């Protein structure tokens, strides 16, 4: 069964989209350059591709219907989803977008580029929206220190990185509202894709169905 999930990568918040879009548009743009060379004509210089763009349209329903892809107890008010997406965007959060259940599998970080929503006449309460995402590539700035050398110039030496203190591994976790197994695996195992290990350890038949109050054992390695 197809599922689409979005949430902030730290595993603090997220949700499964209640209504799957009719289509997902994926754009893989190139960044190649062409030049005209005397006596040769046009030549093509191949560069690395640009970041992937993903776009889709759907709606957040006010009431449960047969086409809803989540349980009724997990269906939130339409403006709950709107506030979450706008909140992540306004707080400069990168999000985790997951699409599973078919030959096309997506599990990556993205930035929210555009989010448009509206209500239609005759369908009071339902929110129709379009969402444009761009793949987010992790990067970091390396700290260096400047030191004079014997020639009167300067050399740059990488600064020592501080190692964060380690905490003892948690052996159990109590599910709270908004949790998913992917979130829990990301938080405790540092890899959301390891959620099947938690499901297997706790004999969870359907990883998409977990509830607040459940206590799960967490793998120790």
Residue 172: the pLDDT is 86
Residue 167: the pLDDT is 42
3-state secondary structure of 78: helix
Q: 98 Cβ partners below 8 Å, 6+ apart?
A: 3, 4, 5, 6, 106, 107, 182
Cα dihedral value 87, 90, 93, 97, nearest 10: 60
**Which of 78, 69, 92, 93 minimizes the C-alpha distance to 16?**
69
**Which of 5, 28, 199 minimizes the C-alpha distance to 108?**
5
> Which band of pLDDT confidence, cut at 50, 70 and 90, is reported for residue 3?
confident
3-state secondary structure of 105: coil
- pLDDT per position as a tens digit, 12-71: 688 889 999 999 999 988 888 888 888 888 888 888 888 999 999 999 998 888 778 787
- Return phi, psi of residue 144, to 5°: -135, 160
Per the model's pLDDT, the better-predicted residue between 161 and 179 turns out to be: 179
- pLDDT per position as a tens digit, 99-125: 887 788 888 899 999 999 999 887 788
3-state secondary structure of 189: helix
- Spell out a b/e string for 4-32, using b for 16 or more CB atoms within 10 Å of the CB, else e: bbbbbbebebbbbbbbbbeeeeeeeeeee
Residue 161: the pLDDT is 57
- pLDDT per position as a tens digit, 131-175: 999 999 877 666 666 677 777 666 666 666 555 444 455 478 888
Alpha-helix residue ranges (DSSP H) falling in the chain: 78-90, 181-189, 195-201
Residue 166: the pLDDT is 46
Token readout for 76 is 């939130």
Q: How confident is the prediction for the chain on average, in pLDDT?
A: 83
| Domains delineated in the chain | 3-31+44-135 (2.40.30), 164-221 (3.10.350.10)
Q: CA angle at residue 40 from 35 to 46, to 5 degrees?
A: 40
Residue 82: the pLDDT is 95
Q: For residue 108, how far is the Cα from the chain centroid?
A: 5
Residue 9: the pLDDT is 64
Rounded Cα distance between 16 and 39, Å, is: 58
């Amino acid at each position: 069964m197809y599922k689409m999930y979005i949430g902030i990568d730290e595993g603090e918040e997220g949700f499964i989209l209640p209504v799957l879009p009719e289509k997902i548009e994926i754009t893989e743009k190139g960044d190649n350059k062409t030049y005209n060379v005397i006596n040769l004509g046009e030549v093509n210089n191949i560069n690395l591709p640009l970041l992937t763009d993903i776009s889709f349209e759907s709606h957040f329903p006010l009431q449960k219907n047969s086409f809803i892809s989540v349980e009724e107890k997990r269906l939130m008010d339409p403006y709950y989803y709107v506030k979450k997406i706008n909140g992540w965007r306004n707080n400069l959060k990168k999000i985790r977008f997951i699409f599973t259940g078919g030959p096309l599998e997506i599990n990556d970080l993205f930035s929210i580029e555009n989010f448009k929503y509206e209500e239609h006449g005759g369908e009071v309460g339902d929110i129709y929206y379009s969402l444009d995402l761009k793949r987010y590539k992790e990067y970091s700035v390396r700290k260096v220190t400047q030191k004079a050398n014997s020639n009167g110039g300067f050399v740059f030496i990488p600064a020592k990185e501080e190692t964060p203190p380690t905490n003892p591994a948690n052996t159990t976790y109590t599910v709270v509202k908004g949790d998913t197994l992917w979130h829990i695996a990301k938080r405790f195992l540092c890899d959301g894709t390891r959620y099947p290990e938690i499901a297997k350890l706790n004999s969870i038949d359907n990883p998409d169905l977990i509830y607040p109050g459940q206590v799960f054992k967490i793998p120790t390695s």
